[in-house]
Amino acid sequence: MPTRRLAPAALALALALTVPLLAAAGDALPLTKVAPASPATARFAELAGDVRQADGHAYDVRDHTGRTMDTAEITQTPDGTYLAVYHSTLPDGRFHAAVATSTDLRTWTRRHDFGPGTSQASLVPNGRGGYVLAYEKDPDNHIAVRGYPDLDALLTGEADRAFDAPRTLSRCAEGTPDVTAVDGDTIELTGHYQESCGTDRQLRARLRDFTTWRAEPDDRLDRAVAAWGTAGNIGDRTRVALGGEPIVLIEGQHRRDDFGSWRTYAYDPVTGRADRLTPRTHGGSEALANPSATVLTTPEGRPALLVSLFVPREGAAHGEAGQLVYWREL
């Protein structure tokens, strides 16, 4: 098999990437320079590292009624329509997850509200013309999974399969699901659990036939993010493939209860290492959370990597708080 070589820009980036040598509560960049966790994490950092160089972007993304589209995950239907699942905090004081459609990645029309107490939604096609949706459900924060036979059913909220997962790793909270694979009647997910009812840590789970659930801690992923001095929660994550190589984008909170200390990482599941990502925004926002990404076709018909990040107001530059979406052509 021929040896893989990084492109010049990616190689330069690799020489600048660093490993963590910080105290648990620190947030300065480390000093020791090493190669990136993988060619795919280096490529992602190259593509997603500067919003100012993006081929398209939008800050504080909202749907057509003005609802915020917090923690939006975006995918594309076979006919080119863009789908986003997201949540908003409404006057009832509850999170409401919803699904919206778009043709330009900037203007979004909400199609269905999944009800109070739903948040952190993740959506994937099931390979049979339908969709699998997972979200965190409260009260008694837990992971809920819904199956939809087709797009129309999703957009009207008419699920034909449903499962609410029992909490088996924490008596207090499990949530922020990400659906990573659907193979027939088997659904693979990741999520978080509140360890000892205190700090969020990672889990992976499998649901069979919407009846049988098994979850276990993902200590390896936790260790990779904690190595960067993450003393707070390790929370939302999503999987994306670049050049056929999977990476996991994940958020880590350097100081517990400090929303301005959320940072984002790219984890390589093969090496078990994570790279710190430091995307530059136009105003220099520091806190970036709830990362997700996908490869799609732009409104102009070109392949691109789309990145979605939540910018907490505690670490946001003027005008940049809220949901950030941007994309770079491949």
Render pLDDT for 116-133 as a digit per residue (tens, 0 to 9). 999 999 999 999 999 999
139 token code pair: 């009260």
**How many Å apart are CA 217 and CA 234, to the nearest integer?**
12
**How many Å apart are CA 261 and CA 47, to the nearest integer?**
23
- Asked if residue 327 lies in contact with residue 54, where contact means CB atoms within 8 angstroms, the answer is yes
pLDDT of 4 strictly over 50: no
Query: How many residues make up the chain in this entry?
Result: 330
- Asked if residue 173 lies in contact with residue 141, where contact means CB atoms within 8 angstroms, the answer is yes
Q: What is the pLDDT of residue 33?
A: 62
CA 206 to chain centroid:
19
Lowest mean pLDDT among 23-27, 197-201, 207-211, 260-264: 23-27
Reported confidence tier of residue 27, pLDDT bands at 50, 70, 90: low
In CATH terms, the fold of domain 27-49+57-329 is: Tachylectin-2; Chain A (2.115.10)
**How many Å apart are CA 70 and CA 89, to the nearest integer?**
9
pLDDT in tens, 278-293: 999 999 999 999 999 9
CB atoms closer than 10 angstroms to residue 18: 16
**How many Å apart are CA 273 and CA 36, to the nearest integer?**
9
pTM above 0.85, yes or no: yes
Nearest to 279 by CA among 309, 259, 252: 309
Phi, psi of 9 (to 5 degrees): -65, -40
**Residues contacting 106, CB < 8 A, separation 6+:** 56, 58, 61
Query: 3-class DSSP state for residue 86?
Result: strand
Reported confidence tier of residue 48, pLDDT bands at 50, 70, 90: very high
